[in-house]
Chain A
Amino acid sequence: MTARDSDTAAEAGASRAGRRLPVADARQVARAVRAALGGRWWSLAGVVAILTAGAAADLIAPAALGGLVDAVESGETGTAWLWTLGAAMVGGALVGAVLTAVGVVTASRLYETVIAQLRERMVARAFELPQGMVEEAGSGDLVSRATDDVAEISQAAPRIVPALTSSLFTIAVTLVGIAVVDYRYALAVAVIVPIHVFAVRWYLRNAPQVYTAQRAAMAERAHHLLTSLHGIDTVHAYRLQDRHNARIARASWQVVGWELRARVVQNRFFGRLNVAEFLGMTGLLVVGYLLVTNDLGTLGGATTAIMFFIRLFNPINSLLIVIDDMQSALASLARIVGVIDATPEPQEPGHDAVSAPGDADDREDAADNGEDDAVSALADAGAPPVLALRDVAFHYDPDRPVLNGVSLEIGRTETVALVGPSGAGKSTVAALAAGVHEPTAGSVRRPPAAEGRDRDLVLITQEVHVFAATLRENLTLAAPSADDEQVRAALATVGADGLLARLPEGLDTVVGTEGHSLTPAEAQLLALARMVLADPAVAILDEATAEAGSAHAGTLDSATAAALSGRAGLVVAHRLDQAKACDRILVIESGRIIEEGSHTDLRALGGTYAALWEAWSRQTAPR
């Protein structure tokens, strides 16, 4: 059981990672960050200047201590010198505090703005990508980039950037300070740099894989929790709670293991840094001893150098420990920029009808095909079709063709139904017509773009989602400029005015996950109302009324009819009465159109459809 579970998980993981969306390389990331920075170069320069000055001011206090030590040693100076040193220390501390605070705030404003821009561009780009590309990668990939990776960066940046900015400047300025006291102290410190380099390289060799595994284990844990919670009724009905609890517990304990391994790696890294600290201190003591005993330096100088060095511990640790944060943030950034920079694979020109040579030729060809394949020509005599598929074939795997030689045309106000058993290819025809996938052979002509739109076509699938927003916002998603009048009219068209009346705050009622919950049938009506608002030339409904249950079929059928009136419609029909209501019916079997015609024609034909209808009407006759 355990073995089998992990096997399937591994399998799923392997195939899930198959055709992911692209991940950006370092150059692309740098370019995207530069673009997001926009014209803020001067504020970047300002941040650098402020932080350098702040770090320098912070050095006044330890330097003053050295002066104090020398004063005590010489035994000559009086309290006036003490007050001068005191004033310098307090002044330095205050100026340093203010400058560092201003620097960190300015830096965080800068990076927060950059992050906001990147996430906005990423989400915008996500909706521009060809749907087929996203679907192939699994929409989960996109969702996780838009949520997890954005969160990763938003959370990592406040740790990384302050560490980077203030630590980096403190370290640099302090090293300069040590060298100012005596260059030989700086040499003693420089000797330990290779240890830091070695420690960081060791860390980067070991840490990322542990962190990756840790994050994967966390994702696995969240996944088991979430699927169990979403399917809670099923879990209870089949008494699966123990099995699911065991899965969750197993995933949770895996996380514990990885957390601990990550900590061990971190601690060993700190251990190495401690060794460097120790060696640095020893070196400074030895150099100080040699300098002072040989009268080349003062005791105060040695003190200052050592005080400077002790002040380096924290900045060095906090800088080096964010290196892995930085790495994982960069990985997330690469995944985000990957989406921003994603370019769809070039499509062969013949596929897109907009660039196809001549419409007239196309139509002739289509007619020829019609004769050859016993597919009748367009019913809408004269008027050009708004949607045309010609000799379309499609497959994911060449050995398993999904569609073969499918041709269909839909006139301006015509509704066409696709009928056939599950797996015959109905949904694939809908997806090709809508442009989700491009055909492997043949061509698809879709309606030309109207003003400001991609294509004048809308696809509604069986997936219903109510957005967590007001009812109005849910609807105006399809038509941002629509006013309340139009929104109400759209609801009335699909017969959802009753729903509107029932909601406590009308159009302002918040619906979706955290608001008023809608039944599947209501959600379907909402989807149809959105389509009415979008007012496309062609509407493709793929099992659009499937999930609501047979009880609401009547309501939804009339809503669908109302929503489709006056436009071209392609309906993947579940129930034959849906098909009967359409102007024309295509029967698909094993990826081919085997019959085409009106309900009456096809019944008269006495073929597959007639047989289907026979069986169907026998059931429904009592109605």
Chain B
Amino acid sequence: MAGRTRRPWARVPEEPVPVELPPTGPEQTPRRFTIGVILAAKRYTLPAAGLIVLWQLGEALVPVLMGVAIDRAIGGADPVELVLWIGVLVLNYLMFMLSFQFGSRIGLFGMQAVQHRLRTAVSERLLDPGGLEGAARLPGVGLSVASSDVSRLAMAVAIAVYPLGEFAAIIFGGVVLFTLSWPLGLAVFVGAPAMILLIDRAGGTLRRRSGREQALAASAAGKAADLMAGYRIVTGLRAGPEAAARYRRSSRDALQATLHAKSAQGVLLGSMNAATGVFLAAITLTAGWQALSGSLSVGALITVVGLAQFLVGPMTMVATNFGTIWASATASAERVLDVLRSPKPYERPAASAAFANGTTEAAPAPGHGAIGTAPGAGQPTGGDTAADGDADTDGRHPTDPEPLDLDPDHLHLDLDLTLGAAALRDRVAPGECVAVPVDGTQAAELVAVLSGRAEPGGGEGVRLAGRALADAPPGTLLVAPHAADLFDGTVLDNVAVGGADTDRALAALEDAGCAEFLRAMPEDVHTAVGEGGRRLSGGQRQRVALARALAQDTPVLVLHDPTTAVDSVTEQAVAARLRTCRQGRTTVLLTRSPALLAAADRVLRLGSAQETQETQETQEPQAAQGHEYTDAPGTGTPTTATTPTTASTATTAQGGTR
């Protein structure tokens, strides 16, 4: 395998090759970053550039050799010369063909390796638990940075390969012409840069136009994607004709823009061809005049014209490609940099570093991992090394200093925060199952605070066993998101994640009320859920997601409206089982669903923010009251006499705050 890695042109190595990306610090500019990217894979681009130079020289040699052969073999009517020059031609072809074969491959491999490295860096940043700021938070934008922008930026690596060869060919051609006739050589050395500049300038307008064209074409494509994403809504409303008419309008706009750009392209193409044609005619005429006056042989005349004709290729290539690639690469570099150095709004830097290193520090060493996320900063960032992430997600860190007392009997959860105009101030006793009847906005705020993504608007926040949430090791507290996002793989793959093994996953599927529909499926728990879980209905997806949360078996579990897409019959069954399967561990339900409220030991009461301020001093009795509740129904039967009463008072209070 090591051998393969060293010979990428023979076979693709199985593991990504290491590539050093340029720094992404605050001083980095897109231009410098692009240059850094171009130079990132020197191991591959240098040899590739050398071979590409050889290839271009060989190509440039063809007209030279032909000129000599015509002159000496045909003009001189010499069969030996004919065989000799055909032999030289063979060698030249062999040389440049091989150079091209390998130069092109090695160069591409270098470019792809850089691209891969950039892509993994971007995707790791996008998935980083520290979160993102700016537009890249939108999945569509993130995807386009990680795919298109990364590709365009990596294209810049080609600048280190092909233009070098093209320049080499131009210089070689100029030198040859110079030796044959100095005015011709001078014409190339002056004419080539002038033409390259001219074409590049003229191309600038075209690039801007084609940028607009692409934007409009993309908007037509986006329109189609958006309409198609709402396919069921459109067909449900029988609004197909109207949707098609709207698509047609944006398609026509895109067409108009494209046609405009095409005309500009035509003008550019025409002037480019005219310029090169006149340039060639001028060289031919000069050489012809010299040949007529006897200062140039016929063979040299052919060489001159053949070479000049060949040089047009590299010249236009440099002129059209270099600028285009550079412009689009730097534009993309800016977006890539934006993602790579986006601030991490949810990160607690010091904590996560200490936690990841496992160093023993006096300060509690925690991490945002505590709220159910792994400390990404500590992971090796090379996508190449992330062979299998499962190993990293098994929860408690062995060398965690001053570990939190994980004994479930001591994990009491103190809530003290304001949610809009309401205040939540209570203690959830260890092993208690409580419901918090919050509305949508309050739930979103509470979820954000509990998962460490936001500071509470007021109050002391949330403390677990008397410590800040950030101190809790991963796997202590899980805030299961409301969105039932499933990923590729089977039902079981989706549930047996993180710390959950197969047995626990199977038990959790049973508890979440999945058994019934799974039995009806062709391969039971091994049924593939399809892209985004789309082979399951909304209710089924939600129950699988609930099973995934239950399977984690965390000491504290927060569920946000886990049964909204589930019918009331199933919901009731799920609620009852939830009580039993979370026995002895703390469960917080953010919901107003009657079935879940009924299943909870206690329904927390939301006061008004002001009232809480006033009762600040009487904190102790309140906490004690929390214990009192647990003592009564704590042992598990969901429908003890106290439950409806508490639910009743709570909902009354909630009614008041509405």
Contact = CB atoms under 8 A, between A and B. Distances in A.
A9 B488 contact: yes
Contacts of B100: 267, 270-271
B400 interface: no
A509 interface: no
B530 A12 contact: yes
Given A242-B386, A307-B305, A622 B89 contact: no
B390 interface: yes
A256 B113 contact: yes
A179 interface: no
Interface string A245-278: 1101100110111011101100110110011011
B532 to A, nearest CB: 6
A267 B103 CA distance: 10
Given A68-B291, A223-B531, A249-B384, A96 B301 contact: no
A123 B245 CA distance: 9
Nearest to B140: A513
Contact of A619 (B128, B274, B594): B594
Contacts of B86: 282, 285-286
Interface size class of B (residues with CB under 8 A): 35 or more
A549 B482 contact: yes
A119 B498 contact: no
A230 B295 CA distance: 73
A455 interface: yes
A239 B369 contact: yes
B232 A467 contact: no
Interface string A513-550: 11000010100000100110010100000010011111
A281 B270 CA distance: 30
A390 B79 CA distance: 95
Contacts of B238: 453-455, 457-458, 534, 536
A623 interface: yes
A119 B376 CA distance: 44
Interface residues on A, range: 35 or more
Interface string A585-623: 000000000000000000000000000100110111111
A462 B552 contact: no
B73 A289 contact: yes
B520 A242 contact: no
B598 interface: yes
A478 B284 contact: no
Interface stretch (B156-164, B259-267, B405-413, B616-624): B259-267
A551 B228 contact: no
A327 to B, nearest CB: 21
A138 B231 CA distance: 11
Interface string B54-88: 00000000110010011001110101001001100
A233 B481 contact: yes
Interface stretch (B181-189, B192-200, B219-227, B605-613): B219-227
B386 A246 contact: yes
Contacts of A42: none
B324 interface: no
Q: Which of B96, B104, B235, B647 has the most A CB atoms < 10 Å from its CB?
A: B235
Given A240-B497, A274-B93, A299-B298, A246 B651 contact: no
A90 B273 CA distance: 11
B230 interface: yes
Most buried by B among A434, A478, A530: A478
A286 to B, nearest CB: 7
B175 interface: no
A120 B490 CA distance: 38
Contacts of A459: 235-236
Contact of A126 (B228, B259, B309, B566): B228
Interface string B292-303: 100000100110
Nearest to B225: A147
Contacts of B278: 90, 93-94
B487 A231 contact: yes
A235 interface: yes
A149 B220 CA distance: 13
Interface stretch (A102-110, A367-375, A378-386): A102-110
A40 interface: no
A465 B244 contact: no
B540 interface: yes
A260 B565 contact: no
A584 interface: no
Interface in B214-261: 217, 220-248, 251-252, 254-255, 258-259
A252 B116 CA distance: 6
B489 A5 contact: yes
Interface in A282-311: 282, 285-286, 288-289, 292-293, 299, 302-303, 306-307, 310-311
Interface stretch (A71-79, A183-191, A199-207, A499-507): A71-79
A287 to B, nearest CB: 10
Nearest to A262: B108
A275 B90 CA distance: 9
Contacts of A230: 139, 485, 532
A248 B569 CA distance: 40
Interface string A1-30: 110110011011001100000000000000
Nearest to B234: A127
A328 interface: no
A143 B258 CA distance: 23
Interface in B387-433: 387-390, 392-393
Given A274-B97, A285-B85, A310-B66, A238 B497 contact: yes
Nearest to A9: B488
A292 B520 CA distance: 86
B359 interface: no
Interface stretch (B26-34, B142-150, B625-633): B142-150
A608 B165 CA distance: 82
Given A98-B270, A260-B12, A307-B306, A281 B230 contact: no
A101 interface: yes
A552 interface: yes
Interface stretch (A341-349, A403-411, A420-428, A563-571): A420-428
B112 A256 contact: yes
B451 interface: yes
Among A233, A241, A477, A512, max chain B CB count under 10 A is at A241
Contact of A575 (B90, B306, B568): B568
Contacts of B16: 249, 253, 256
Interface centre among A142, A238, A252, A264 (most CB of B within 10 A): A238
A298 to B, nearest CB: 10
B251 A120 contact: yes
Contact of A105 (B66, B77, B266, B651): B266
Given A105-B265, A285-B86, A423 B438 contact: no
Interface string A413-452: 0000001111100010000001000000000000000000
Contacts of A576: 568
B120 interface: yes
Interface in B585-602: 591-595, 597-598
B203 interface: no
Interface stretch (B327-335, B348-356, B472-480): B472-480
A264 B8 CA distance: 11
A462 B565 contact: yes
Nearest to B79: A289
A139 B255 CA distance: 26
Given A93-B274, A616-B594, 18 more contacts: A58-B277, A82-B285, A94-B278, A100-B270, A222-B143, A230-B532, A237-B451, A238-B498, A249-B123, A260-B8, A263-B105, A270-B100, A293-B74, A458-B236, A465-B229, A467-B226, A469-B226, A534-B237
18 contacts: A8-B493, A11-B528, A16-B531, A98-B270, A101-B267, A120-B244, A124-B248, A225-B123, A233-B485, A246-B389, A253-B116, A260-B8, A263-B108, A288-B70, A420-B569, A480-B242, A547-B564, A549-B564
Q: Which 8 A-B pairs have the closest CB atoms?
A: A93-B277, A242-B389, A127-B240, A101-B270, A231-B485, A249-B383, A105-B266, A243-B389
